[in-house]
Amino acid sequence: MSVAVDFVGYEVLIDYINKHRLYTLAGDFVEIGAFVGGGTQKLATLAGTFGKKVYIIDIFDPKADDTAAIDGTKMSDIYQAFLEGRSQYDEYCNNTRGFDNIVTLKQDSRKVKLPLGQRFSFGFIDGNHHPEYVMNDFLLVWNHLVSNGVTALHDYGTDLPGVTKTIDRLLEEKRDEISGTFVIPDKHVILVTKNLS
């Protein structure tokens, strides 16, 4: 198994999970947007320590996200430049080979239907950056998140203003269900904790 690139720096997520003992909560982990599985390796290693699975939701099409940054650069251009013609899915499979606790859903996240009883204690969202997807992906995780569980979102406060605006709107709409938020500015991550219910 090769070591894949991790554009986010998943160590900050793992530190947060450990600090807040999210692994003691019921439910598995979920990641929307795995790219080539660099962060997935790290999440799966941690999850496996506590007998949890990691559900991965990704369409694995580097051309799918045409969201443009302020300077006009499209996310799809960045992904394709990195891959240099290689298959995103093949790279992901190579980098996650050997893990028996990864469940991969190779689908458009807007079409994913999770079982009603599926529960997550932690979710990380870094999929398609279009506002419609940001909203869909947040709700997909949030609706299956256990009390005191955390949803983390990437690209908050970056040169993708639509992402930040959509997250802020979701935080306002769900304020009665949120017990707290925590921002890691240098990693452009916001973590949102669900109220006890």
pLDDT in tens, 73-115: 999 999 999 999 999 999 999 999 999 999 999 999 999 999 9
Decide: 135 and 109 in contact? Cβ < 8 Å.
no
CA distance 48 to 69: 36
pTM beyond 0.75: the answer is yes
**Model confidence pLDDT, tens digit, residues 15-60:** 999 999 999 999 999 999 999 999 999 999 999 999 999 999 999 9
CATH code for the domain defined by 11-190? 3.40.50.150
CA distance 191 to 37: 21
Phi, psi of 122, rounded to the nearest 5 degrees: -150, 140
Give the number of other Cβ atoms within 10 Å of residue 15's Cβ: 11
User: What are the structural domain ranges in the chain?
Assistant: 11-190
